[in-house]
Structure 1
């Protein structure tokens, strides 16, 4: 399936890459996903893309080396060419303070890493809805 958008997943855990790829593939979005291992790699990747090649959605792990998810989110929202991209946090942390910080910095949503197929399917369906809303707004 060909898409008019990309999804950037930023997570330092290869197992989470595999799990996220499975969730997106199951939802028919597997070919739209690109992975990077930390915030610095993600920002470098994004800086090299043309404006029309930017992802529609960025999924950030909260706890990563180099630049964590909150630091990366803050930097993304400060950059004029990137601040429009929908960003969601995907983390093992269920801490309300961290969740609130991320939402205040501009995260569109905050998901606690799912451990069941049902949780993963729900999360990807929410992502799909965000992407569909984005495509409708840009049409």
Structure 2
């Protein structure tokens, strides 16, 4: 099951966002909190099941705002891989830039109409798939052979068909 943590101090916004998400995205659980402090409490308590989680949070909240919460999440290796979407009523470029510097994965102006709430949910479903594969590192280094060797030597003839058919080459003029 997919989990979306929704942190927003406005109860009406949380309700509208949750309704849109549950209408658009299948097999999803939306967990709502009022501020960043409660979000961090929930996430640290549920740290074992965060592989299919996404955080959608407001920038301006009481107690612990979005940037403070984001700073904690992105500085902790346990939580740094969780996608975080920030939203706010502001379109102040300095605040948005600051949020990206803190590590958000996306920013959006808060929706105000039903169509915008639906678009928000569709965007989350399309651009942030919540079921991500888990990649494990090999315990010992491997010798580069075959595809890796060809890639590093720029030897296109030795590359598999699927690779060079998808690459677009541009000629220098």
Contact 2:52–2:132 under 8 Å retained in 1: no
2:134 aligns to what? 138
What is the TM-score when the length of structure 2 is the normalising length? 0.71
Residue 52 of structure 1 is aligned with which of 49, 52, 72? Answer: 49
Find the structure with the greater CA-based Rg: 2
Q: Give unpaired runs (5+ residues) of structure 1.
A: none
- The structure-2 alpha-carbon separation of the partners of 1:87 and 1:32, relative to structure 1 and needing over 3 Å to count, comes to same
Query: Residue 114 of structure 1: CA displacement?
Result: 0.8
Query: TM-score scaled by structure 1?
Result: 0.87
Greater Cα offset, 114-123 or 94-103:
114-123
RMSD of equivalent CA atoms:
1.9
- Structure 2 residue 71 is matched with structure 1 residue 74: yes
1:98 has 2:95 as partner? yes
d(CA) in 2 for partners of 1:80, 1:28: 28
Distance 1:117 1:66 in 2: 29
Query: 1:11, 1:67 → 2: CA distance?
Result: 11
Q: Any unmatched runs of 5+ in structure 2? A: 136-173
Q: Shift of residue 25 of structure 1?
A: 1.9
Distance 1:125 1:49, change over 3 A: same
Q: Report which stretch shifted further, 120-129 or 88-97.
A: 120-129
